[in-house]
Amino acid sequence: MPIASGTRIGPYQIVGPLGTGGMGEVYRARDPRLRRDVAIEVIAPRFAADPGRLRRFEHEALAAAALAHPGIIGVYDVGTLAGSPYLADARDLGRELARLKNQAARGSASVDPLRRANAARRHGSRRRQLVI
Protein backbone atom coordinates (compact mmCIF):
# COMPACT_ATOMS: atom_id res chain seq x y z
CA MET A 1 0.00 0.00 0.00
CA PRO A 2 2.37 2.75 -1.18
CA ILE A 3 1.55 6.20 0.14
CA ALA A 4 2.20 9.17 -2.14
CA SER A 5 4.27 12.17 -1.10
CA GLY A 6 2.03 14.95 0.15
CA THR A 7 -0.54 12.55 1.65
CA ARG A 8 -1.63 13.47 5.16
CA ILE A 9 -1.71 10.82 7.86
CA GLY A 10 -3.25 12.39 10.92
CA PRO A 11 -1.34 15.63 11.40
CA TYR A 12 1.69 14.40 9.42
CA GLN A 13 2.51 15.06 5.78
CA ILE A 14 4.32 12.27 3.94
CA VAL A 15 7.60 13.39 2.35
CA GLY A 16 8.64 10.05 0.85
CA PRO A 17 9.41 6.40 1.49
CA LEU A 18 12.21 5.30 3.82
CA GLY A 19 11.93 1.53 3.52
CA THR A 20 10.18 -1.48 4.92
CA GLY A 21 9.88 -2.27 8.61
CA GLY A 22 9.13 -5.57 10.28
CA MET A 23 5.37 -5.21 9.89
CA GLY A 24 4.86 -2.54 7.27
CA GLU A 25 6.20 0.35 5.28
CA VAL A 26 8.12 3.28 6.72
CA TYR A 27 7.87 6.85 5.43
CA ARG A 28 9.61 10.12 6.18
CA ALA A 29 7.01 12.65 7.22
CA ARG A 30 6.81 16.19 8.53
CA ASP A 31 4.92 17.31 11.61
CA PRO A 32 3.98 20.90 10.75
CA ARG A 33 2.68 21.58 14.26
CA LEU A 34 6.06 20.98 15.90
CA ARG A 35 8.18 21.61 12.79
CA ARG A 36 10.03 18.31 13.01
CA ASP A 37 10.63 15.29 10.85
CA VAL A 38 9.28 11.93 11.94
CA ALA A 39 9.17 8.41 10.60
CA ILE A 40 5.74 6.85 10.09
CA GLU A 41 5.40 3.06 10.09
CA VAL A 42 2.08 1.86 8.68
CA ILE A 43 1.17 -1.76 9.29
CA ALA A 44 0.64 -3.71 6.06
CA PRO A 45 -3.04 -4.56 5.49
CA ARG A 46 -2.32 -8.31 5.72
CA PHE A 47 -0.96 -7.77 9.26
CA ALA A 48 -3.71 -5.31 10.23
CA ALA A 49 -6.22 -8.17 9.79
CA ASP A 50 -4.28 -10.40 12.21
CA PRO A 51 -5.38 -9.84 15.85
CA GLY A 52 -2.11 -11.27 17.19
CA ARG A 53 0.00 -8.90 15.11
CA LEU A 54 -2.19 -5.95 16.12
CA ARG A 55 -1.74 -6.81 19.80
CA ARG A 56 2.02 -7.06 19.29
CA PHE A 57 2.15 -3.71 17.47
CA GLU A 58 0.11 -2.02 20.21
CA HIS A 59 2.16 -3.64 22.98
CA GLU A 60 5.44 -2.56 21.43
CA ALA A 61 4.19 0.98 20.84
CA LEU A 62 3.11 1.24 24.49
CA ALA A 63 6.37 -0.23 25.75
CA ALA A 64 8.51 2.09 23.60
CA ALA A 65 6.42 5.11 24.60
CA ALA A 66 6.98 4.28 28.28
CA LEU A 67 10.76 4.40 27.90
CA ALA A 68 12.69 7.63 28.18
CA HIS A 69 16.27 7.05 27.14
CA PRO A 70 18.39 8.92 24.59
CA GLY A 71 19.49 5.64 23.03
CA ILE A 72 16.00 4.24 22.44
CA ILE A 73 13.87 5.67 19.68
CA GLY A 74 10.73 7.15 21.17
CA VAL A 75 7.18 6.86 19.89
CA TYR A 76 5.53 10.23 19.25
CA ASP A 77 2.05 9.19 18.20
CA VAL A 78 -0.22 6.34 17.09
CA GLY A 79 -3.29 6.33 14.89
CA THR A 80 -5.12 4.54 12.09
CA LEU A 81 -5.02 5.03 8.32
CA ALA A 82 -7.73 3.24 6.32
CA GLY A 83 -7.97 0.52 8.97
CA SER A 84 -4.21 0.04 9.30
CA PRO A 85 -2.56 1.25 12.50
CA TYR A 86 0.49 3.50 12.26
CA LEU A 87 3.01 4.92 14.65
CA ALA A 88 5.13 8.04 14.37
CA ASP A 89 8.60 7.90 15.83
CA ALA A 90 12.01 9.54 15.74
CA ARG A 91 13.73 6.73 13.87
CA ASP A 92 14.79 8.97 11.00
CA LEU A 93 16.44 11.74 12.96
CA GLY A 94 19.89 11.73 11.42
CA ARG A 95 20.95 14.69 13.54
CA GLU A 96 20.41 12.64 16.69
CA LEU A 97 22.43 9.75 15.32
CA ALA A 98 25.23 12.13 14.33
CA ARG A 99 25.17 13.61 17.85
CA LEU A 100 25.50 10.16 19.42
CA LYS A 101 28.34 9.24 17.06
CA ASN A 102 30.15 12.47 17.98
CA GLN A 103 29.68 11.69 21.68
CA ALA A 104 31.09 8.21 21.13
CA ALA A 105 34.10 9.64 19.27
CA ARG A 106 34.76 11.97 22.23
CA GLY A 107 34.34 9.08 24.65
CA SER A 108 31.16 10.49 26.17
CA ALA A 109 28.55 8.14 24.70
CA SER A 110 25.77 7.56 27.20
CA VAL A 111 25.23 3.79 27.37
CA ASP A 112 26.30 0.91 25.16
CA PRO A 113 23.69 -0.56 22.76
CA LEU A 114 23.35 -3.89 24.59
CA ARG A 115 22.45 -2.15 27.84
CA ARG A 116 19.87 -0.03 25.99
CA ALA A 117 18.40 -3.14 24.35
CA ASN A 118 18.22 -4.95 27.69
CA ALA A 119 16.49 -1.98 29.29
CA ALA A 120 13.95 -1.90 26.45
CA ARG A 121 13.27 -5.63 26.75
CA ARG A 122 12.76 -5.35 30.52
CA HIS A 123 9.97 -2.88 29.73
CA GLY A 124 8.39 -5.31 27.26
CA SER A 125 9.66 -3.88 23.98
CA ARG A 126 10.84 -6.08 21.14
CA ARG A 127 11.35 -3.15 18.79
CA ARG A 128 14.63 -3.08 16.96
CA GLN A 129 14.78 0.67 16.46
CA LEU A 130 17.57 1.43 18.89
CA VAL A 131 20.00 4.24 18.22
CA ILE A 132 23.52 2.80 18.27
Sequence ranges of the domains in the chain = 8-122
pLDDT in tens, 38-65: 999 999 888 889 999 989 888 888 888 8
Given a contact cutoff of 8 angstroms between Cβ atoms, the answer to whether 107 and 69 are in contact is no
d(CA 113, CA 56): 23
pLDDT in tens, 106-122: 665 555 555 555 555 55
Of the candidates 51, 47, 39, 1, the one whose C-alpha atom is nearest the C-alpha of residue 23 is 47
Q: What are phi and psi of 66, to 5 degrees?
A: -80, -15
> What is 8-122's CATH number?
3.30.200.20
Of the candidates 42, 91, 41, the one whose C-alpha atom is nearest the C-alpha of residue 71 is 91
